[in-house]
Amino acid sequence: MAPRVGVLDLQGDVSEHVEALQRAGAEAVRIKRVEQLADLDGLVIPGGESTAIGKLMTHYGFMEAIPRQAARGMGVYGTCAGLILVATEVEGSDQPRLGLMDMVAKRNAFGRQVDSFEADLDIPELGPEPMPAVFIRAPYVGSVGKGVKVLAKVGEKIVMAASGKHLVTAFHPELTEDARVHRYFVERLRKS
Amino acid sequence: MSSREQNTGAQGTWRVKVGLAQMLKGGVIMDVTTPEQAKIAEEAGAVAVMALERVPADIRAAGGVARMADPTVITRIMEAVTIPVMAKARIGHFVEAQILEALGADYIDESEVLTPADEEHHINKNKFKVPFVCGARNLGEALRRIGEGAAMVRTKGEPGTGNVVEAVRHMRTVMDEVRKLQTLDEDELMAEAKNLGAPAELLTEVKKLGRLPVVNFSAGGIATPADAALMMQLGADGIFVGSGIFKSKNPAARAKAIVLATTHYNDPKVLAEVSKDLGEAMPGIEISKINQAEMMQTRGW
C-alpha cells in the first residue's frame, strides 16, 4: 500500500509538494488541522516563510502534536523553511521549532533573494545522476549531532541530511521534475 | 561524501524568481512604512513586507507625484525583519528598479500606486536578477507583464480605498479568461492572442496549465479577514494588504486575523472566530465617488 503522507498546509508551496509526492508513489493529503495527523506515515513541512509557518504551527498546536506523532513512527521531511522548523537549534534565534533532528540551522545563510541560485548536486544516495537543486533565500545546516547523516553539501555547507525516517533539504526538489528526493523519503516510510 | 557540483550556482534564473513567489503562497504581504510596523507585521505572521514611505490611502490623500521610497526607509526595514522585503518602483522607471536591486530588495513591485514614469513601456524585467511583481486587471495584461519578465502577478484592486469590489472584479475577470482559454481549440489560440494582446506561447502555457504560469496574489482594497478569504476562495494564491492594516484601529490584531483567515479561507467557523473584536476597519471609499483621473488601477496597460 502507498504510504499516506501529509503536506502541512498552513503556508508555502503546498501544491508543488503534493504533486511531487504523487510522482514518488505516495498518497498525498493536505493537513490543515492537528487531528488530521493521526493516520499519517509521513509529513512534509513545505518551503515558505519559517517565521510565518512557525507562528501558525504554534497557534494551532502543531508544535506539540508533530513530535508526538513522530515518536509514534511518523517521518518528517522539511524543505527550506521546513529544515529550520525540524532542527533542534536555529542560530541567533529563539523562534519555535520541533527539534526532531539534532542539528543547528542557519537562516537565510546564502544571502538575500538576489543571491538565490540553482546548482546541480552530487548526492550518492540518489544515484550517479546529479540532482538539480533550487536554493531560495536558503538556510543550511551549520553542524549535526548524533545520528544525523549528511547526504549533500554545497562547498562546506550541509544542504541535505537524514536521521531515522526524518529528512531535510535546504533546496526545493518540489520545484523540479526530479522526484528522487521525495521517493527517497517515501521509500523509507515503507520500511517500518 | 562528495561536494563537487556541476552547475555551481546560476543566480537570477526564472526558476529562482518564480520560486520565491511560490514560497509566499497562502500568505499575506503587508505594506509598512517604519521598522516598528515591519516588526508588527512579522510578528503577526506576514510572509513578506512592502517597504513604503506612505501607504496607498495616504498617497491618495496627498496627491502629487508618488515616487520610489527613500532608500533609508527601505534599508531600515530590511534591517528590522528576517522575512523578505519588497519595494515599489514607478511603472517604466527602470532606474528606480536598478536602485532597489542595488539595495538588495527581495522583490520589486512595478506599481500603479506610484505615479507612472512611462505611459507606454513597462520595465524590461528580464534584464534584472531581482524578481518583479506587477499588477493586472485581466489575462492579457497579466501575460504582457509575464512576457516582460514579471515572475509574480497581483490582480489589481483600487488601492487605498478599503473597498474590495475592484479586486473581486479583476480576479473574476482573470479566472474567467483562463477558463475560457481551456475551451478553445489549439487552432484558435493565435486569434485569441491577438484579441488579448498577449504572447501566443504564454496562452498555450496557460491553456496547458489551467492557470497563470506564475503565482497570482490579490491586492487593492482588502480590509478585513473576510475580504482576504473571499479573494482566496475566488482563486488568489495569497494576499497583499496595503492600507487595510495600519489605517485600522488595532493593526496587530487585524494583521494576525487576516493571516489566520488566509490560511483557513475555506473554513467559515475559523473566519467567524478571527473576525471578532478587531475594532474599526479602515474608513472605506465608494469607487463611484473617485474622480476618474485619480483611479490607480487604470495606470499601465
- Could B22 and A16 be called an inter-chain contact, meaning their C-beta atoms sit closer than 8 Å? yes
Q: How far is A77 from chain B (nearest CA, A)?
A: 16
Give the pLDDT confidence score for residue A1 in this predicted structure: 85
Give the pLDDT confidence score for residue B8 in this predicted structure: 66
Q: How far is B153 from chain A (nearest CA, A)?
A: 16
Is 60 exceeded by the pLDDT of residue A77?
A: yes
Under a CB-based contact definition with an 8 Å cutoff, are residues B79 and B49 in contact? no
CB pairs below 8 Å between A and B: how many? 139
Give the pLDDT confidence score for residue B4 in this predicted structure: 40
CB count, 10 Å around CB of A156?
7
Give the pLDDT confidence score for residue B1 in this predicted structure: 35
Under a CB-based contact definition with an 8 Å cutoff, are residues B34 and B52 in contact? no
Cell 522526484, residue? A179
- Is A182 known to be catalytic? no
Q: Region A16-28: what's the mean pLDDT?
A: 98
CA B13 to chain centre: 20
C-alpha–C-alpha distance, residues B100 and A11, integer Å: 27
**Chain B residues with CB-CB distance to A55 below 8 A:** 43-45, 259
Under a CB-based contact definition with an 8 Å cutoff, are residues A82 and A185 in contact? no
B183 contacts chain A (CB < 8 A): no
- Could B15 and A137 be called an inter-chain contact, meaning their C-beta atoms sit closer than 8 Å? no
**Chain B residues with CB-CB distance to A82 below 8 A:** none
Give the pLDDT confidence score for residue B5 in this predicted structure: 43
Instruction: Confirm whether the ipTM is greater than 0.85.
Output: yes
Q: Where are the domains of chain A?
A: 4-190
User: Using CB atoms and an 8 Å cut-off, which of residues 111-130 of chain B contact chain A?
Assistant: 129-130
Long-range contacts of B84-87 (CB under 8 A, 24+ apart): B84/A49, B84/A113, B84/A137, B84/B20, B84/B24, B84/B47, B84/B48, B84/B49, B85/B38, B85/B48, B85/B49, B85/B51, B86/B29, B86/B48, B86/B49, B86/B50, B86/B51, B86/B133, B87/B50, B87/B51, B87/B52
Name which of A186, A192, A188, A187 is nearest A6 in CA terms.
A186
B291 contacts chain A (CB < 8 A): no
Q: Mean pLDDT for each 10-residue chunk of chain B (301 residues)?
A: 55 96 98 97 98 92 92 97 97 98 98 96 98 98 98 96 96 97 94 96 96 97 97 98 93 98 98 95 91 90 85
- Is B129 known to be catalytic? no
Q: How many residues does chain A have?
A: 192
Give the pLDDT confidence score for residue A138 in this predicted structure: 96
- Could A136 and B23 be called an inter-chain contact, meaning their C-beta atoms sit closer than 8 Å? yes
C-alpha–C-alpha distance, residues A75 and A42, integer Å: 5
Give the pLDDT confidence score for residue B293 in this predicted structure: 86
Is 70 exceeded by the pLDDT of residue A178?
A: yes
Is 60 exceeded by the pLDDT of residue A169?
A: yes
Q: Which fold has domain A4-190?
A: Rossmann fold (3.40.50)
Name which of A126, A128, A129 is nearest A169 in CA terms.
A126
Q: How many residues does chain B have?
A: 301
Catalytic residue among B88, B125, B207, B247: B88
Amino acid at B187: D
Three-class SS state of B221: coil
C-alpha–C-alpha distance, residues A149 and A8, integer Å: 24
C-alpha–C-alpha distance, residues B241 and B229, integer Å: 12
Amino acid at B44: A
